[in-house]
Amino acid sequence: MATCELEAFMQAIERCPANALTGCREWTAHEVAAHMAANGAEVARTVGAYAEGRPVPETRGFEERQAPYSVLSHSQLLPRIVEETTRMHGILDAVLKAEPEAVIPWTGRQMRVADFPTHMRNELALHRWDLVGDDDTSLELLSQPELTLHSVKVLGHILPRAGMNARGAPDGFSVRLRSLGRSDVLVSVEQGTARMTLAEPSDGLTLIADPAARLLFMWGRRPADGARFQNQMAEEQFSTLARLCAGY
């Protein structure tokens, strides 16, 4: 499936002018492309160090890791996405074959090497939506349950952080993001800390959406068709939820 997301992303970005605006705030298509190439390279750099028995370097921030790619022409940049992603997967496969439970430092936390392939699939699917919006391919890719599972289990303590740091939210706040037939995503605040967790469906404040729309909402994005959401809370509560689901 990783090839599916990569192919879909490349088909989308090859149709976009370099200076096209995207759904990723303040980024053009060229900047999204630089981000994706840099992601693959950064994972390869850190996991590669682990594979070679060297100290794992500190994860670089977006601006630093993207800088060498941003200065490339668009025609030079696009093939680098495939090259860096392919190289990354080769390193991941080698490490996982030797050590399936390997864990490395990544962005200030510990990350299972086995989680990186899904992480990249998630990035490709989300940023493809940033380029082309709501189409059948976006619906198919973003509806995959493992992408929501990854976003919650691996990033559930990170996704609400920017919104929480910017304007805060009251302790005890709790809202369920629901897609019928699947576990709820519980967005909650306890002792000044916001996080997303999985929970069995239950009563409470709820925002209902199809699985693809729910994943987009979790990442601070909004599909064009608002009818894909059913809001079952007051305006103030929804405003708090929207702040916490603003992406990073």
CATH number for 103:
1.20.120.450
CATH number for 168:
3.30.1050.10
Asked if residue 19 belongs to a domain, the reply is yes
Domains: count for the chain:
2
Measured CA angle at 82 (ends 22, 68), to 5 deg: 70
Asked if residue 171 belongs to a domain, the reply is yes
Residue 3 pLDDT > 90: no
Say how far apart CA 49 and CA 45 lie, in whole Å: 6
Say how far apart CA 87 and CA 103 lie, in whole Å: 19
Contact predicate 120/40, CB 8 Å: yes
Asked if residue 155 belongs to a domain, the reply is no
233 and 171 co-located in one domain: yes
pLDDT of 54-108, one tens digit each?
999 999 999 999 999 999 999 999 999 999 999 999 999 999 999 999 999 999 8
Of 194, 42, 195, nearest to 106 (Cα)?
42
- pTM over 0.85? The answer is yes
Structural domain range at position 193? 161-244
Which residues are 83's β-sheet partners?
none
Produce one character per residue of 112-125: b if its CB has 16 or more CB atoms within 10 Å, e if not. ebebbbbbbbbbbb
So what's the pLDDT on residue 1? 47
110 and 202 co-located in one domain: no
So what's the pLDDT on residue 234? 94
Say how far apart CA 186 and CA 241 lie, in whole Å: 11
70 and 108 co-located in one domain: yes
pLDDT of 99-148, one tens digit each?
999 999 999 899 999 999 999 999 999 999 999 999 999 999 999 999 99
Contact predicate 190/171, CB 8 Å: yes
213 and 97 co-located in one domain: no
Locate 34 and state its tokens.
């630089």
Say how far apart CA 48 and CA 50 lie, in whole Å: 5
What mean pLDDT value characterizes the chain? Answer: 95
115 and 44 co-located in one domain: yes
CA distances to 67, 91, 117, 220 from 44, rounded to whole Å, are 17, 6, 12, 27
133 and 51 co-located in one domain: yes
Residue with tokens 């950064």: 42
44 and 116 co-located in one domain: yes
pLDDT of 152-167, one tens digit each?
999 999 999 888 887 7
137 and 180 co-located in one domain: no
Residue 178, H or E segment = strand 174-178
